[in-house]
Structure 1
């Protein structure tokens, strides 16, 4: 075994692309790079992106990561790509992109989603048929919307790809998809791991959409090697294997070592996600739990809240506070913020299921209306949404001995304590906060190992490459748990009135 085995992990998100270089022998991340993207926002909740920006960002982030790692790109053995889920990328028969990619956070297709949900027989029908309840962010309604709004573009569709599938296509020239990211399309059955082609025929009886579907491959399978011209552009080895990749949540699971039952990953980003590994597709009767497939060969029951650091950010801006000062004020206020309760549903909300809700601040009096209490209330309010989601996962039989935190919010010690107390569970951060990019690199190493006759299992790779930051470990404090429980019950009473 060589003294180094270098893999590149790429995470193409909404705000930008991150790249990192992993040495799978030592388990160390040697260097990282990043590049930003812009959002195309329009009326009715349109949220799109120009895919050319992704390609520029991948190139820039990769070159920056190689330079920071001080390694030769010709030594890269494999690449894994993580992408924002649910986005729709349409290509013509020449492989050219037909229009900007419609993203996960786009709500312009809400009415199309409502019609499709009715066609499936409501939430119950959708769960029975697909194993998930389709939501406006999913890919399916974007296809119906394209047919109705852009019939000329629709008639030229030759490939339907998710963002990470598109990057794999650009890298290798092959059109493939893996089960994890495919789970969020709305035309994939998570139990049987097959496309639901009839659903696409219902939208377009000519069979055009069915013919445009990518081939499904296993999580450990390679898509192919990098096209020589692209390898040259990136400055890497053209023989590098491109792994199946996956959605950002699926890759975040691998990057936090969440590949066997018992671990729970919680991501504190603009939105919040909580997910756990399961080895069978035990679909929850609750529509809020999405039983996606994992990108490691199992399943990944997941809940997503729409309001997290985007909500705390609004309060910070309102009071013109930097992160440090904001955290100080949160720590100053007592648990329960002296009765101030914020329902931070500024973007509508998925968990609890209140898509049309707006935010509100309740319980104000002459004495408790302070900056500290409002700062505390927004952090508690977003955390209560995560608690609500974790309870749904626990009702579905998932065990949670400890929670692994990732995302920007996890860097706040006071927020970690609030989470530990509210969830009555120890929490700990992973050393590498770019968990999705790390997971993509680990998956690439796994894929290479499979090709070489199983040198390393995924579990061995995760054990070597995923390090916990012991200094961040935060345990629940008994008296805080009791006070947090009271505040949480008050939050539930307020939610019930909506």
Structure 2
């Protein structure tokens, strides 16, 4: 049987076709536009997600026996606000995870409702990217549209709804809405009251591997699939990527160097750090995870190379970098503001420490190191909770760079395990579909079976010591500059 994983990203939907054994048969990507109607705003048209996903699935399954497709699972960009009216029409374009318009609402939640209460209700505090502040923004700024809301959903759940008719979400993605009581895996009555939302406007909650329905007959017909194809709830992109990399069970770690950067730590037990610097979310394997999220990671390197240096040859820019741990130039990677651990949408990117002998390579190196230092900030919070991590998996576009992996290993003093297949959320979505269809007993089993480590980058004692000294300097820069942002 075949399983389809749908990774609904910010710039494109990536679809993956997997056999039960884990063999990847095909991968297809379909792009769609991103709209910035005002500075700091970020929107998409949900219809684009659906049409491109359907077209992508047709392309993905060309030349195979489509009657053998058994299930579809998702990984999706988190936190986006999708609203439908009573007739299932989309009320307004989706407000995305990287949209910063809800700063006032975020401040209201953190300062007037209070971080302690939010943490008690949801295990998290408010961030501008989360869904609840967006709902409050819509209530205040678009009251007529707010009054029309019959259904509130997240981006990947819109796809599940269009494909199966099931109004659903999963607990990992719902954790990022600031509406879920994460510890008890149910909607928070207090948060619903604060946001003026009724439970019937929110989707039914599922675990990530649970079947939410089957394909609508007309969709099955268009795709050439059986109408018995199971649609599985899926997970938020980071939890889905963690499944895809085998970061399941207790005490596993995964670092993602994508557009944003994350450090993801799986845990059997629910836990919250006292400052809520890390997100405390439900995991797609039925347990919990802690996550630090930087808003700009590989996107910092992309910006530096493509916009400033005007090149797309990343490898050539990194080739002259030889002296690790000795760079006098520092880079603060806050091009889109920052989430973990600073929670400051006003933070900005900074180069520090240049002199007349600073080279182009020094600047490039500083960008790579700045992202690694930023991720270490979150790792330090986890370590203060008593979580002991000595190794991590790595995924995302930035993980293709051998140099960047070496920097990460030594800045964080972790063994970095490189996987044979690294397809992130799309692979995780297909694996969740396989569990939902009964091909595997649970998420932990399939995660451990399919994540094949082919290389490990070991930290080097001398380099770790050099980077320790650099990190101590780096971590003084943000608090010093904070009043100026």
Provide TM-score, normalisation by structure 1.
0.92
Which of 22, 40, 46 does residue 18 from structure 2 map onto? Answer: 22
User: Structure 1 residue 116 and structure 2 residue 109: aligned?
Assistant: yes
Structure 2 residue 120 is matched with structure 1 residue 137: no
Confirm or deny that 1:84 pairs with 2:77.
yes
Partner of 2:54: 59
Residue 90 of structure 2 aligns with which residue?
97
| Contact kept? 1:33, 1:63, Cα under 8 Å | no
Report the counterpart of residue 264 of structure 1 in structure 2: 253
Pair 1:497 & 2:480 matched: yes
The structure-2 alpha-carbon separation of the partners of 1:456 and 1:125, relative to structure 1 and needing over 3 Å to count, comes to: closer
1:455-474 pair list within 5 angstroms:
456-468=441-453, 470=454, 472-474=455-457
In 2: Cα distance, 1:30 partner to 1:467 partner = 17
2-structure distance, mates of 1:32, 1:87: 25
Structure 1 unmatched runs, 5+:
none
Instruction: Measure, in 2, the Cα distance between the counterparts of 1:129 and 1:462.
Output: 31
Q: CA deviation at 1:120?
A: 2.2
Offset of residue 302 of structure 1: 0.4
- Are positions 1:157 and 2:131 aligned together? no
Q: Tell me how far apart the structure 2 counterparts of residues 71 and 462 of structure 1 sit (CA, whole Å).
A: 26
CA distance in 2, matches of 1:461, 1:399: 24
Kindly state the Cα deviation for residue 496 of structure 1 after the two structures are TM-superposed: 3.2
Matched position secondary structure for 2:373 = helix
Task: Tell me if structure 2 keeps the 8 A contact 1:277–1:294.
Answer: yes
Secondary structure of residue in 2 paired with 1:418 = helix
State the shift of 1:39 in Å: 0.6
The answer to whether 1:12 aligns with 2:4 is: no
SS of 2:43's partner is strand
CA-to-partner distance for each residue in 1:274-320, whole Å, 9 max, x for gaps? 11111121111132210100112011110101121121122212223
Distance in 2, matches of 1:455 and 1:13, equals 26
Q: Give the counterpart of 1:323 among 301, 314, 322.
A: 314
SS in structure 2 at match of 1:266: strand
Q: Which residue of 414, 431, 437 maps to 2:426?
A: 437
Structure 1 stretch displaced more, 315-324 or 260-269: 315-324
The Cα RMSD (Å) is 1.6
SS of the equivalent of 1:184 reads helix
Aligned partners of 1:118 and 1:475: how far apart in 2? Answer: 43
Q: 2:215, 2:144 → 1: CA distance?
A: 32
List 4+ stretches of structure 1 deviating above 4 A: none
Contact persistence 1:442–1:465 (CA under 8 A): no
Is the 1:262–1:401 Cα contact (8 Å) retained in structure 2? no
Given that residues 249 and 285 in structure 2 are in contact (C-alpha distance below 8 angstroms), is that contact kept between their aligned partners in structure 1? no
Give the conservation status (yes or no) of the 8 Å contact 1:221–1:447. Answer: yes
Deviation at 1:44, TM superposition (A): 4.1
Query: 1: distance between equivalents of 2:382 and 2:226?
Result: 42
Q: Which stretch of the first structure deviates more once superposed, 418-427 or 316-325?
A: 316-325
Q: Which of 319, 332, 335 is residue 322 of structure 2 equivalent to?
A: 332
Q: Distance in 2 between matches of 1:344 and 1:300?
A: 24
* Residue 222 (structure 2) aligned to one of 216, 227, 233: 233
Matched position secondary structure for 1:41: coil
SS in 1 for 2:273: coil
Using the TM superposition, give the Cα deviation of residue 474 of structure 1 relative to its aligned residue in structure 2, in angstroms. Answer: 1.0
Q: How far apart are residue 159 of structure 1 and its match?
A: 0.7
The Cα shift of 1:261 comes to: 1.4
Q: Tell whether the 8 Å contact from 1:420 to 1:427 is kept in structure 2 after alignment.
A: yes
Q: Is the 8 A contact 1:333 1:373 kept in 2?
A: no
**Would you say the 8 A contact 2:11–2:33 is kept in 1?**
yes
1:261 to 1:203, Cα distance in 2 relative to 1, 3 A: closer
Q: SS in structure 1 opposite 2:351?
A: strand
Map 1:166-181 → 2, pairs under 5 A:
166-181=158-173
Residues 193 and 119 from structure 1, CA distance in 2 versus in 1: closer, same or farther, beyond 3 angstroms? farther
Q: Shift of the alpha carbon at 1:389?
A: 0.9
Q: Distance in 1 between matches of 2:45 and 2:345?
A: 27
- Find the aligned partners of 1:151 and 1:88 in 2 and give their Cα distance: 15
Q: Give the TM-score normalised by structure 2.
A: 0.95
